[in-house]
Amino acid sequence: MADIWQQTLNWQPNSQQQSQFQHLYELILQGNQKLNLTRITEPEEFWEKHLWDSLRGVAQLLGDSSQSPNGKKISLIDIGTGAGFPGIPVAIAVRESTITLLDSTQKKMQFIQQILPELGLNNVTTITGRVEEIGQNHKYREQYDVALIRAVGNASACAEYALPLIEKGGLAIIYRGNWSTDETTALASAVKQLGGVIEHIEQFTTPLTHSIRHCLYLKKVANTPVKFPRAVGIPSHKPL
């Protein structure tokens, strides 16, 4: 896949990163025998939907020195990481970063904690918990440069989960399938209440199956009011 990486993301994994991707694939297949981690198990589908898609959202960080404006390593959080996507491929590809993987499902997080040393990843930490509670905990609130969130509910809830966790000036990246201008209008009002703006929306086509995908890039421009995120379950059931 080296040519496709290069043509689509202007980046390609080195040999260590290639073997880490291969190892990740094998570990996920093994884990799937016991846990319901993912339905995506065919090699090409895994490459496109789990590896390529994860990295497409952070294309601007690939090949960079990945430092935040204050010169520190860039810090990311992946909210609702499940089996580790997009966070683990990002941790492999963007070595000059620290990544926190967060999910409320204990079994998935135990699986991730087991595979991190096998993948040789020492730039990753994990949190087991509900993001609504983590976002209200001062240890985590406004601590990250970038929040990633894929397949964790409607976009407004994703914004409510992500924006409290990032610093002012930071970025929330929401991975979506289809997306429309009407949805942008509705999301803009929610994002404004949370102290953010929709910086841009990228549409792209995946390289193997030519599916349409979107990434929404939200910039935090003001502090998020303390009432957000609301209590567990409210952001998804009563979206802003």
Distances from the Cα of 209 to the Cαs of 52, 55, 111, 130, in angstroms? 12, 17, 29, 34
Structure tokens at 146: 């970038």
Q: Which stretch binds ligand SAM (CB under 6 A): 8-16, 99-107, 116-124, 218-226?
A: 99-107
Under rule CB under 6 A, residue 128 binds ligand SAM: no
Looking up tokens 């990486």, which residue turns up? 5
Q: Out of 24, 56, 101, 103, which residue is the one contacting ligand SAM (CB under 6 A)? A: 103
Find where tokens 């998935």 sit: 108
| Residue carrying the six token digits 């994994």 | 13
Hey, which residues between 21 and 60 contact ligand SAM (CB under 6 A)? Answer: none
Residue closest to 127 by CA, chosen among 94, 80, 57: 80
Residue from 20, 66, 81, 98 binding ligand SAM (CB under 6 A)? 81
* Beta strands 212-220 and 166-176, pairing class: antiparallel
Nearer to ligand SAM, 15 or 139 (CB): 139
Shortest reach from residue 3's CB to ligand SAM, in Å: 26
State which residue, 221 or 231, has the beta carbon closest to ligand SAM: 231
**Does 223 help bind ligand SAM (rule: CB under 6 A)?**
no
| Helix, strand, coil percent content, the chain, rounded in steps of 5 | 40, 25, 35
What distance lies between CA 199 and its chain's CA centroid? 17
Nearer to ligand SAM (CB atom), residue 92 or residue 102: 102
Q: Is 82 in the site for ligand SAM (CB under 6 A)?
A: yes
Interaction of residue 85 with ligand SAM, rule CB under 6 A: yes
> What is the nearest approach in angstroms of ligand SAM to the Cβ of residue 139?
16
Q: Give me the phi and psi of 138, to 5 degrees please.
A: -60, -20
Binding residues vs ligand SAM (CB under 6 A): 80-82, 85, 102-105, 108, 130-132, 150-152
